[in-house]
Amino acid sequence: MSTLCKAKKPPGRVIYANGKIKVYEIDGHEHKLYCQNLCLMAKLFLDNKTLYYDTDGFKFYVLTENSKYKSLDEMVGYFSKEKISYDGYNLACIMTLPSHQRKGYGRLLIELSYELSKHEGKIGSPEKPLSPLGSLGYHSYWASTVMTTLLHFRGKVTIQEICKETCIHEEDVIGTLSRLNLLCYRKLENGQQHICITDKMLQDALSQFNIKLGRKLDPHNIRWK
């Protein structure tokens, strides 16, 4: 007797749609079995993944590709997020299926997690330690986002201003600047540490570290309600 799943899409509501791509927001309390299965599947690909069967305190953001041939939204990746994080985490676990990697989906999910932080008016950071692939994805995102902000301010900006503009945690901003050899300060009269970076330093960093600017996610396509 066939026991194939007849569902054509994940549960929850669509909060992002762009072409064949959708992201579903799923409450771990309302759809516990589905979210538990997501955690079990992620464990297959993430060695440092801790299994949690109590999904009540989490929301899950599932990325899908629309398959016209099969007439369904196929899950290709997801991230989970605590409903209330006392440590300021905006992401608990992130996973893209190996068959769909190198499509920019991991980057899109990371960008969405920070858009959620901006919507909540909070500074965010992923739960650590990051997996090797997660670390690569975040370092790329932080470098691109911090460089975009530096270019906007023409290299004259404080750490606090970068955090406010991007919602990236101060520790991650400082770590990114250090990796890019841009952690240069000059003291201001009010005691704030103000970054002072020349246009040449910015262009050299873009070239040396092969930083690609631009975004995978269009914030205008997010459905907040």
Q: Structure pTM? A: 0.91
* Confidence (pLDDT) at 45: 80
From 80, 61, 64, select the one nearest 21 (Cα to Cα). Answer: 64
Residue 216 is inside which H or E element, if any? none
d(CA 221, CA 115): 11
The catalytic residue among 25, 111, 115, 127 is 127
Weakly modelled stretches of the chain, pLDDT under 70:
1-5, 48-52, 70, 185-191, 193
The residue written with tokens 């270019």 in the block is 151
* 14 neighbors 58 (Cβ within 8 angstroms): no
pLDDT of the residue at 117? 97
Q: Tell me phi and psi for residue 92, to 5 degrees.
A: -100, -50
State the pLDDT at residue 127.
93
Bridge-based pairing of strands 89-91 and 125-126 is: parallel
In the residue annotation, 127 being an active-site residue is answered as yes
Structure tokens at 51: 């299994």
The domains of the chain, with CATH numbers, are 10-128 (3.40.630.30), 130-216 (1.10.10.10)
